[in-house]
Chain A
């Protein structure tokens, strides 16, 4: 990826985060309270669109995939568990904080960016003690679900799409999104 492509992709990425409302503390924390499911709707829509497009393009021979993020069950899961605590406390994740900082909000610019840099320093300095051990447990490498379980990739995407539509139905029509208590 060169600088110009990175900048343009980043602008559209940040723009979508802003328009989805994810640069607001309440949007992030309310998905965990089930009072506003926009984060989940936004994420799942992006996933369905991107995976349909990418697997179709690959089927047509138009793209090759980069190496997917590595699967090491305990590390991915534990990392996610710690990550959720940070999200609920701060109301951002690294991407939405960068976009929120661009909007000019001081509580994104100062504690957010500073916290990420300090977190990165702590991680980098303790990497040797933590990462090799945790990533060695149940490590399947740079794999995908269809590869790992020998499934038809198009069928997997289709099932994922149907499950997402069902989820959207549950959120929008079947009352999974509850009324707030504030």
Chain B
């Protein structure tokens, strides 16, 4: 018991232990509600909702009407849960960052390699995030909705996606890290 409590307070677990937990969550999703986990879809639902409020004409298209209808879907609630899960995880190890300094450029490795500039970090992260969401749309899901959820059912789509992700991830890391790769 003491060991478990101590482990719970550790900041970073063995990836195997954390992976078992995620695997169990994947099983639970199918067992309890016959559905799959996913994160990227929630942002489509939210974007559609905001878009329809601001520019209803522009967002009155096939995609936002039928493919990814706007609204607070269960997917959005799931992502909200992920948000709180991250919060609880950080709280158990005393690494919550709310209201602390220097969270605008939060990673030591980033600062070492690319410097302390917040604008640089935010610009690249912002562009990266746009790319991620667009790519998830084309692929049919992201790391959770396609790679994990599809992979656990042995869908070929998941493994094609993972292969593509590693090839370009490695190449991109080589380009941006250059002689520090």
Contacts and interface: CB of A to CB of B under 8 A. Distances in A.
Given A80-B168, A104-B97, A140-B156, A2 B33 contact: yes
A169 interface: no
Contacts, number: 538
Contacts of B35: 1, 66
Given A1-B33, A19-B13, A79 B140 contact: yes
Contact of B110 (A25, A108, A143, A153): A25
Interface in B112-156: 112-113, 118, 121-156
Nearest to B140: A69
- Among B82, B99, B163, the one with the most A-chain Cβ atoms within 10 Å of its Cβ is B82
Interface residues of B, number: 135
B40 A102 contact: no
A117 B47 contact: yes
Contacts of A93: 39, 132, 142-144
A118 B104 CA distance: 20
Interface string A56-71: 0100001111101111
Interface string A150-162: 0001001100100
Given A42-B18, A104-B98, A107-B125, A69 B104 contact: no
A13 B16 contact: no
A5 B164 contact: no
A140 B58 CA distance: 33
B180 A13 contact: no
Contact of B85 (A18, A62, A182): A18
Contacts of B129: 86, 90, 92, 97, 111-116, 118-119
Interface residues of A, number: 127
Contacts of A45: 15-16, 18-20, 22-23
- Among A84, A134, A135, the one with the most B-chain Cβ atoms within 10 Å of its Cβ is A84
Contacts of B98: 103-104
Contact of B157 (A69, A89, A112, A115): A69
Contacts of A125: 58-59, 61, 63
Interface in B152-181: 152-173, 176-177, 180-181
Interface string A69-92: 111110111111111111111111
Contacts of A48: 23
4 smallest beta-carbon distances between A and B, as pairs? A10-B81, A14-B85, A79-B139, A115-B129
Interface of A: 1-3, 5-21, 23-26, 29-33, 37-39, 41-51, 53-54, 57, 62-66, 68-73, 75-108, 110-125, 127-128, 130-131, 134-135, 140, 142-146, 148, 153, 156-157, 160, 168, 181-182
Given A91-B128, A94-B43, A124-B137, 16 more contacts: A9-B81, A13-B37, A14-B83, A16-B85, A17-B22, A29-B173, A45-B20, A47-B151, A50-B23, A101-B83, A102-B85, A104-B99, A116-B129, A124-B63, A125-B59, A182-B109
